[in-house]
Chain A
Amino acid sequence: MPETMIEIEDLCQSYGRKVAVDHLTLHIPRGMFGLLGPNGAGKTTLMRTIAALMRCQQGAVTVCGASVQKPAAVRPHIGYLPQDFALYPNMTAEGALQYLGLLSGLSAACRRARIPALLEQMNLAEQAHKRVRALSGGMLRRLGIAQALLHDPEVLILDEPTAGLDPEERVRLRALLGELAEQKTVLLSTHVVGDIEASCGEVAVMDGGRLVYCGAVEALRRRAQGKVYETELSHGSLAAFRAHHPVTAVSGTGKSCTVRFLAPEEDPCIGRPCEPSVEDAYLLCVHAAGGERQ
């Protein structure tokens, strides 16, 4: 089994005149890998391409050595959780997994063994006979992960798996994904930096279809060293301040607030430098990429 599980070489994807992925080259190793970017960055397009749900218009993508131009060769290796995941509303949770297991080529005996274990692992054992439409958002997400794991794939492709979950659910899901990443490659796409910070060692940042950073999460954070500042401002002057400095956080109540902002080019001469977070570094990355585009 190759160490690099997913190889993407000079991939270009577009919808008509809109370029969704622009000459992207990326090598995703085993373990948990984060894909970060704002909405419209091209993350979902990239994930659907890797999952062989979209034709490669230009470039090459291989998953576990199999080219996505041959979807039949790729599908046994991947488990995919789409962004707007849905299942047949009238089926029960167990019934839906049975059907999807059948479509994944699992034998009846295998399904009989795996499905109860998966439901147990996802804490859905009690909901096994509930209809899909009756499940809560968190339960549905966990069921989505269960269906992605059904055929024990080497690669899990999860498109915004924590979207719509409450903080407790999110923490639980991150822990679960962390356990899975010990044995598999988990490609996790999100625009919530906290998910990346909590679970991933490596991350790629996309913006406008391009790769603007690829490497360790810690290295990303260090790139923002010396470029993040904090200052106190009155609420009235906040709007004018935003016009000149990219603001990453505002906190505090009352007449004044604490503003955290980026100074990528030079010393802003106001405020005090502070230790950057991954979110600061991500925003710095995206801000720089946006400046380049302009």
Chain B
Amino acid sequence: MARALCICRTQLTRLCLLPLLGAVGFWLLIPALFGTAMLDERAAALVLEGVFPLAGALLLTPLFAPERRPGLLDCVAARRASHLWVCGLRAAAMLGALAVLDVGLWLFMAAQGCAVSAGHLAAGFANGLALGALGALASALSSSEIAGALAALGWYTMDFFSNSCGNASLFLLSRGRGAPKLLVLAAGLLLLGSALAVFHRRMRR
């Protein structure tokens, strides 16, 4: 456990510092740009469900970026700790950061009199996980973080413009449909697992 925490700390402070800073910077901009005071349910959902999850894409899409160089990947993969386990810890660290940012924004909005609920909190996290996981999977398949970002943004845009994803839509709450985000959360976990599996398989070909 101690070793795992130590590895997570290195991930956050060294290897994934740039995406983390990017996500925090984006998180700080949200109240300044969008206004988070005394919003009703749907307006609050637009912020937590529609805007905040892009931080998830920032955090998770570059999941495999630190070891993109083949020589570096071999060096790390030859260690006793399974690289799949290390990537899993990295993902957990990023999800932890996403959860902290989500809770922080939710509390801030609640303090500003917004009509936020547990559903909003879950929606922000589920969407962030789903978008980021799709980005990670695309980046694992294509070995390119840019392709990963394209996939994540592509899903976001398609859903935003077309409203054809049913209960798997990212924008359920902001469209006034109170369905739980279980499908999105499940999709996110599945995509993240797939991303890790694909990366590991390609590494051990």
A touching B, CB within 8 angstroms = yes
* Per-residue contact bits, chain A 93-119, to B (CB 8 Å; 1 contact, 0 not): 001000110111100000000000000
CB-CB contacts below 8 Å: B69-118 with A:
69-72, 74-82, 86
Q: Which of B6, B70, B75 contacts A87 (CB 8 A)?
A: B75
Q: Which of B71, B75, B82 contacts A72 (CB 8 A)?
A: B82
Q: A95-B14, A102-B6 are in contact. Are A75 and B79 (CB under 8 A)?
A: yes
CA distance A222 to B66 in the complex (A): 49
Q: Which of B70, B72, B78 contacts A88 (CB 8 A)?
A: B72
CB-CB contacts below 8 Å: A91-146 with B:
91, 95, 99-100, 102-105, 144
Q: Chain B residues with Cβ under 8 A from A85's Cβ?
A: 71-72, 75
CA distance A82 to B72 in the complex (A): 8
Q: Chain A residues with Cβ under 8 A from B6's Cβ?
A: 102
Q: A53 contacts B74, CB within 8 Å?
A: yes
Q: A103 contacts B72, CB within 8 Å?
A: no
Q: A86-B69, A91-B14, A99-B10 are in contact. Are A104 and B81 (CB under 8 A)?
A: yes
Q: A105 contacts B78, CB within 8 Å?
A: no
CB-CB contacts below 8 Å: B190-205 with A:
203-205
Q: B14 contacts A88, CB within 8 Å?
A: yes
Q: A103 contacts B80, CB within 8 Å?
A: yes
Q: B14 contacts A75, CB within 8 Å?
A: no
Q: Chain B residues with Cβ under 8 A from A79's Cβ?
A: 78
Q: A72 contacts B80, CB within 8 Å?
A: yes
Q: B75 contacts A151, CB within 8 Å?
A: no
Which residues of B come within 8 Å of A, CB atoms? 3, 6-7, 10, 14-15, 66, 69-72, 74-82, 86, 203-205
Q: Chain A residues with Cβ under 8 A from B66's Cβ?
A: 88
Q: B10 contacts A82, CB within 8 Å?
A: no
Nearest-neighbor residue (CB-CB) of B77 within chain A: A53
Q: B14 contacts A80, CB within 8 Å?
A: no
Q: Chain B residues with Cβ under 8 A from A83's Cβ?
A: 71
Q: B14 contacts A100, CB within 8 Å?
A: no
Taking the complex as formed, is A55 at the interface, i.e. its CB lies under 8 A from any CB of chain B? yes
Closest Cβ–Cβ distance, residue B6 to chain A (whole Å): 6
Nearest-neighbor residue (CB-CB) of B201 within chain A: A55
CA distance A139 to B76 in the complex (A): 19
Taking the complex as formed, is A6 at the interface, i.e. its CB lies under 8 A from any CB of chain B? no
Q: A53-B204, A86-B69, A88-B72 are in contact. Are A99 and B14 (CB under 8 A)?
A: yes
CA distance A198 to B205 in the complex (A): 35
* Per-residue contact bits, chain A 142-169, to B (CB 8 Å; 1 contact, 0 not): 0010010001000000000000000000
CA distance A87 to B205 in the complex (A): 22
Q: Chain A residues with Cβ under 8 A from B86's Cβ?
A: 103
Q: A51 contacts B78, CB within 8 Å?
A: yes
Q: Chain B residues with Cβ under 8 A from A144's Cβ?
A: 75
Q: B78 contacts A52, CB within 8 Å?
A: yes
Nearest-neighbor residue (CB-CB) of A15 within chain B: B205
Taking the complex as formed, is A84 at the interface, i.e. its CB lies under 8 A from any CB of chain B? yes
Q: Chain B residues with Cβ under 8 A from A81's Cβ?
A: 75
Q: Which of B3, B75, B204, B205 contacts A82 (CB 8 A)?
A: B75
> For B10, B66, B80, B86, which residue has the most chain A Cβ atoms within 10 angstroms?
B80
Q: A105 contacts B81, CB within 8 Å?
A: yes
